[in-house]
Amino acid sequence: MKTVKDFINKIYKKINKRIKEISVVLYIKTNVLFITYVLVNLINSWLLRIVTMGNLFSFKAIISDLAFILIVGSFAYLLKPRKQIRILMPLTIIMMLACLINAVYYENYVSFASFSLLSTASFLGDMDGAVVTSLIKLKDIILIFAPIVLLIVHIILKKRKYYQKVEIIERPKKRFLNTVILGALAVFATISMMQGADYSRLKKQWNREYLVQRFGIYVYQLNDAIKSTESKFTSVFGYDKASKTVREFYEEKEKTDNINNINNEYTNIFEGKNVIVIHAESMMTQDMTLSFNNKELTPNLNRLANEGLFFSNYYSQVSVGTSSDTEFTFNTSLLPASIGTVFVNYWKRTYEAIPNLLKQKGYYSASMHANNASFWNRNVMHETLGYDKFYAKDTFDNSNPENIIGLGLSDKEFFKQATSKIKKISEENEKYYVTLITLSNHTPWDDEDKYGSYTVDYKYTETDEQGNVVEKSLPYMEGTQLGRYFKSVHYADEALGEFVNELDANGLLDNTVLVIYGDHDAKIAKKEYKYFYNYDFETGDTYDSDDERYVDVDYYNYELNRKVPFIIWTKNSKGDSKLNKKIDKVMGMYDAMPTLANMLNFDFKYGLGHDIFNSNNNIVVFPNGNWITDKMYYNAQKEEHFLFKNSVITDDEIQKNKEYANKLLDVSDSIIVYDLEKENKDEEN
């Protein structure tokens, strides 16, 4: 009896197993299009992580992506099989575009794009087509495969009359429900794997690399889209909490500042002087250290740095707003917005900005930029910052094609025309503050024929068989993106030198402070620097990674090399012990305004930075949550740090700096989003 029972159980198990196998096979056979949709979009997200972060496998991101793909795609089951493509194809195209856009953005900005950038898409119209197309790399093209594969599968199924066969056994509501349930289980798995910090990062959205690595591109983009609408509703929700956060922060900061911020040797040193600020597009501190064929890359910038105050460890703090973020942070000592850009999303606010503050001291202020006034919404944002007039493209003569480089008027012609405008301003006003935003050194640096004769090859001499000395050259940087950038930098430096001479010739430097800063790094890929640092001049090749001369441009090497110049110079600063020195303290863009405030004698309340001459243990917080001090660089994405040589730091110090960095990001965002500077000024009045 037992033998019979065992035999029956054995047969039952085989049959049951066969039924399950048949059901799985049947499901696959009757859901070819939907399964293809799931696979191609899952693979595309995986490929994106590979081409950007080099992340080969992330189980958490795969589950998160799967949840999104299943849930949004499940609605296709509410249509007949032959019509499901009407939902699945648009979804696939949208997800493909999300991958492609983020791949291109990451390649150029080492970050992921924000949904709020859609509001700045019109700016592409102000760019030359070559600028936009040059951003797309060959490896990014692979990401367009998803809709192509889905379309091919659909056409094949249609030709084989697949849909008619499937419609006979199709149970749409049940499959819709089952797919939603499966997606919900994937959501539950995603949530169950989340840690406490993940909720905070989803809410703050500033650590984009971590979010994509942890939740996949689709969930990141969905979350970003939701967060991007916050500025529309923030006046109703969260105001009290934000106001309390800001109030408590500045109460504590005021106590600290009263202890540390005593007068120093630079207090009021420039009071009453005119100020000309040069916002140098894509200029980097590393440029000032380079020479090609014994010719300095930036001789004029070097001269000004050697004669004035040169801040050698100055870091830009830009986010998705790039140049506009720099303008904002430099003038207000606040950080860029965590969602969107201040210039586009939060321009209708009140800000304590240098132009506004100097206006109270009788200054006339103007800004000049030979691009369209609407680019980055400058036409309205510059007024918000306090500029009395914005001299944009329509106020300059752009008629001569020879004077056009890249995006617009060449720096040399721009400075030449700007000088006459500044002269008129000086004649009509007792004191003035003028900002000039350069343009020629903007990517893609393609106008090599207009950059002059400076070469970035390697020249050397050789004696031929007849005994003649022959000059030869190795291409070195010629033909590379970094090489084109260097040529553009040299041109921009020449234009700067001519401008300073022109100002002097017109008597505009006698009572004037010249302030120069690089707005951000060139954002050139690491592979370009690897070639630059590892070029073998003997062979014309590059060193192998196992060569002792090989320089590995890793994450920290790349990040620390993104410094930009910051120089404060006057005509008589050379030889002055106070005004002619190099300052090596680590410093951020948000420290510029407090430092200048002490020198020019104007008060502010809401800045986040410090007067660098009164700051010990200064910390520079970046919009992505990373931060740097004189001791270390902290990577918030990976929660690891790089300790500088001979530096020692305790775990308590690191934790304290992490908390301070998060606090700064919260405070800055609260001020911007809830317009707290205006609210507090109204209360004071």
The CATH number of residue 496's host domain is 3.40.720.10
Does 2 fall in a domain?
Answer: no
pLDDT for 121: 47
Asked if residue 14 is part of any domain, the answer here is: no
The reported pLDDT for the residue numbered 15 is 43
Reading phi first (left if > 0) and then psi (alpha if -120 to 50, else beta), residue 351 is in: beta
For residue 417, the one-letter residue type is Q
Whether residue 542 lies inside any domain: the answer is no
Q: What is the pLDDT of residue 190?
A: 85
Of 23-37, 412-426, 634-648, the poorest mean pLDDT is in: 23-37
- State how many domains the chain has: 2
Domain boundary among 170, 201, 228: 228
Is the pLDDT score of 460 beyond 90? Answer: no
The residue among 121, 137, 138 whose CA lies nearest residue 444 is 137
At 478, the pLDDT band (50, 70, 90 cuts) reads very high
Domain boundary, last residue among 169, 196, 228: 228
396 has a pLDDT exceeding 60: yes
Q: What's the confidence (pLDDT) of residue 681? A: 62
Residues 75 and 174 both lie in one domain: yes
Residue 404 has pLDDT above 90, yes or no: yes
Q: Specify whether 152 is located in the same domain as 60.
A: yes
pLDDT value for 52:
83
Kindly report which listed range (72-86, 227-241, 596-610) carries the lowest average pLDDT score: 227-241
Does the pLDDT value for residue 134 go beyond 60? no
Reported as a single tens digit per residue, the pLDDT across 621-667 is 999 999 999 999 999 988 899 999 889 999 999 999 999 999 999 99
Residues 584, 489 within the same domain: yes
CA distances from 79 to 71, 91, 171, 677 (A): 15, 15, 11, 53
The answer to whether residue 555 is domain-embedded is no
Q: Is the pLDDT of residue 131 over 50?
A: no
Give the C-alpha distances (Å, rounded to integers) separating 287 from 235, 292, 300, 455, 643.
Answer: 45, 11, 12, 15, 25
Most confident listed range (122-131, 156-165, 366-375): 366-375
Say whether both 207 and 320 belong to one domain. no
Are the C-beta atoms of residues 491 and 440 closer than 8 Å to each other?
yes
Residue indicated by tokens 């699945």: 88
The reported pLDDT for the residue numbered 123 is 46
Q: Do 93 and 68 fall within a single domain?
A: yes
pLDDT tens, 325-343?
A: 999 999 999 999 987 789 8
178 and 254 co-located in one domain: no
pLDDT reported for residue 682: 57
Can you give the pLDDT at residue 541?
Answer: 87
Do residues 171 and 306 both lie within one domain?
Answer: no
Tokens 């007039």 correspond to: 389
Let me know whether 209 and 260 are in one domain.
Answer: no
Same domain, 577 and 628: yes
- Is 362 inside any structural domain? yes
d(CA 226, CA 218): 12
- pLDDT band at 79; cut points 50, 70, 90: confident
Stretch 509-515: mean pLDDT: 97
pLDDT of residue 238: 77
Query: Per-residue pLDDT for 428 more than 80?
Result: yes
CA–CA dist 46, 38 (Å, integer): 12
Q: Is the pLDDT of residue 11 over 90?
A: no
- At residue 215, the pLDDT reads 87
Joined together, the tokens standing for residue 444 give: 């893609």
Asked whether residue 13 is assigned to any structural domain, the reply reads no
How far from each other are the two terminal CA atoms of the chain, in whole angstroms? Answer: 98
**pLDDT higher than threshold 60 for residue 120:** no
Q: What angle do CA 125, 436, 274 make, to 5 degrees?
A: 160
Q: Final residue of a domain: which of 205, 228, 251?
A: 228
| Amino acid at site 581 | K
Q: Same domain, yes or no, for 276 and 369?
A: yes
Looking at per-residue pLDDT, the higher value among 135 and 169 belongs to 169
Question: What confidence tier does 135 reach under pLDDT thresholds 50, 70, 90?
Answer: low
**Structure-block tokens of residue 344:** 């586009």
* pLDDT > 80? residue 260: no
Spell out the residues 6+ positions from residue 284 whose beta carbon is closer than 8 angstroms to its own: 489, 518, 521, 522, 561, 562, 563, 564, 565
Is position 11 within any domain? no
| Percent of the chain whose pLDDT exceeds 90 | 57
* Both structure tokens of 190: 């995603």
Specify the range with the lowest mean pLDDT, choosing from 235-244, 340-349, 569-578.
235-244
Cβ neighbours of 458 (radius 10 Å): 17
Shared domain check, 218 and 243: no
Do 186 and 273 share a structural domain? no
378-390 pLDDT, tens per residue? 999 999 999 999 9
What percent of the chain is predicted at pLDDT more than 70? 86
| pLDDT value at 248 more than 50 | yes
**pLDDT tens-digit series, residues 587-630:** 999 999 999 999 999 999 999 999 999 988 899 999 999 999 99
Note whether residue 289 is domain-resident.
yes
Q: Is the pLDDT of residue 95 over 80?
A: yes
Q: What does the pLDDT look like over 554-573, one tens digit per residue?
A: 999 999 999 999 999 999 98
Please give the residue range of the domain that contains residue 307. Answer: 239-521+562-684
